[in-house]
Structure 1
């Protein structure tokens, strides 16, 4: 998980035990895990480090973006995709239960947006890369509904689109928030990827963004960031977060 052209993060908080309070399916491969709030408030877009320790002392650690908006009374929410051979994600997918204590550290990261940052804000996510952007959408709804925001979300299939119903409802009901959902493996947009036409259309609808956030796999992020700059978005406006190798 990398931030690009970002100032260094402050030192993370110490590890602490956090109890799983609720587990809810989100998609066939993604589950929502709710924990008590962190010891210190987070900013939308940040992540936490998660550490598991086996009985023999072996440890595995991963970073997961926070899906919940800062101050969410329901607590901290992580959305974790079960991956084949994933040491940590596999535990959450098949072993973790409500009441389990998990070691967390954070919040961490400078890939962030808050109400005080204003807009317009353009968000572009691929797959599970939508999670930190979802936190920004939720933050806007709670604290800055006047800020124009548009999310382009690329997923393979409708069933795999994280928080699809919530995002569609927000786009329908919240003035100033718009959603473009691109399904790359089904429906009318099968085979299409985010392209310059889609970027230009988003900017025409939103206006030139004051902030642009891109999150997803390495190839996705690199391609989209280049398209944004080609469309006239200043490089310093584009913030990126990358998952995977």
Structure 2
């Protein structure tokens, strides 16, 4: 449940900016709640122009809860996106922005157990990345598999980290599906069946991505025999 205090707008300072793909930048923000959010939650960001015009967008937190005083956002530049355009072209270290949160019930914690199936489309991997980072710290014994659909290998968010986790972390498997590479394909029945064969029956399946992606993957999971109550979804426009 979201604390009413988290719905108040507050200031956050940009502490670090780095490019992670040609269209995505990582922003580390100094906030007072870095140790008290749940993996998978998001924040709302609000920008106010000098004439009073405001634009607002929600961004998932990519980092795991810790005492660093920082949270990490991965922000993709969207064509004609007012907020993402600001972060892509204007934002600088030291800038102060408005945000509220943490918000949302699309979350996984150690007490929820596993196995854990995570299915991402594009930037929908961000809240799932938070879950994987948290799992490594708090519940490394929980089996987990990430099935991640990206247009190209270059566009994979946190690719090096994910591949390193797959090599080093027992019980974690990574399956990449590239839609616009030669011979590319989408997540289909075969990909779902292969993931389930590797992981076994998941106690929880989290699916995040564009509306059409989430709808299609949810149907595939239901067809594969998962109970509706085991499937959690988070959608964004597109």
Bin of the TM-score, shorter chain as denominator length: over 0.9
Aligned equivalent of 2:10, options 13, 16, 28 = 16
Counterpart residue number, 2:218: 225
2:37 aligned with 1:42: yes
Instruction: Give the length in aligned residue pairs.
Output: 236
Question: Retained in 1: the 8 A contact 2:32–2:69?
Answer: no
Aligned ranges 1:203-214 → 2 under 5 Å: 203-214=196-207
Q: CA deviation at 1:72?
A: 5.8
Aligned Cα root-mean-square deviation (Å): 1.3
Q: Extract structure 1 runs of 4+ deviating beyond 6 A.
A: none
For normalisation by structure 2, the TM-score amounts to: 0.96
Give the secondary structure class of the aligned counterpart of 1:233.
coil
Of 129-138 and 72-81, the range deviating more from structure 2 = 72-81
- Cα deviations by residue, 1:65-86 (Å, 9 ceiling, x for unpaired): 0000111627100000011211
Aligned ranges 1:52-201 → 2 under 5 Å: 52-71=47-66, 73=68, 75-188=70-183, 190=184, 192-201=185-194
Question: Retained in 1: the 8 A contact 2:41–2:104?
Answer: yes
Go from structure 1 to structure 2 and tell me whether the alpha carbon gap of 1:72 and 1:129 turns closer, same or farther (over 3 Å shift): farther
Q: Distance in 2 between matches of 1:98 and 1:222?
A: 38
Q: Distance in 1 between matches of 2:28 and 2:41?
A: 16
Q: Which structure ranks higher in relative contact order (CA pairs < 8 Å, sequence separation ≥ 6)?
A: 1
Counterpart residue number, 2:22: 28
Residue segments in structure 2 that go unaligned for 5+ positions in a row: none
Question: Retained in 2: the 8 A contact 1:38–1:76?
Answer: no
Q: Distance in 2 between matches of 1:68 and 1:61?
A: 21
Q: CA deviation at 1:41?
A: 1.1
